[in-house]
Amino acid sequence: MSLPIELVEFLDSQNPNELFNSIRTASGDEWLGFCFWSLHEVEESLDKRAERDVDDRLIPFYGDWHNLFCLNSSSISYEVVEIDDDRNVVRKWKSFSTFKESLFWRDAESVNDSDIIAGESWLDFQLITKRTHRTALGKHFVVRDPIYGR
C-alpha cells in the first residue's frame, strides 16, 4: 500500500514534532503526549494492524497503539480519526488538511506559576525538563516537558 502524499509530506518534510505539541478539539485544547511517527514507523505499522485490531482501511501515524490517530484511506478527502483502546472512533476530522489546521504549538507554562521554588524543592528540575519516551515501535526520543520547558 502506498501512503497518501499528504501524510508523506507532513511526516517527512514538515517535522511535525518540532512544530506541534497540542491539538484543538471540540472539547478544548489538548497536549499531544507522543511524537508523530516516522514514515518508516508508519510503513511498519501497516503489517501490525490486524494483530492490534485496527481496521485495515486505517493508516496509524500517531499514538501508542491504545489510542491512535489514523488516516482513513477509504475516504476521498483522507479523513483523520482518533480511535481508543476499544477501537471506537473518539474524534473525527473531515480531511487531513482540517486535521493539520487543528494542530498548534502551545508554549510551556512558567515554573514560577506552579508555586514551587526550585531552590527549596526536592525536585530535580534538570530531570523534569526532558523526558525520554518510546514510540509504539520501540524507538527512543526526548520530548519537551509540556509544563516545565523545552
The domain segmentation of the chain, as residue ranges, is 5-107
Quote the strand ranges of the chain, DSSP E: 22-25, 28-31, 58-63, 68-72, 80-83, 89-93, 103-104, 130-134, 140-144
Q: For 52-109, how does the pLDDT look when each residue is reduced to its tens digit (9 = 90+)?
A: 999 999 999 999 999 999 999 999 889 999 999 999 999 999 999 999 999 999 987 6
pLDDT, mean over the chain: 83
The answer to whether residue 148 scores a pLDDT higher than 60 is no
| pLDDT beyond 60 at 124 | yes
Q: In this model, does residue 146 exceed pLDDT 90?
A: no
Residue 120 has pLDDT above 50, yes or no: yes
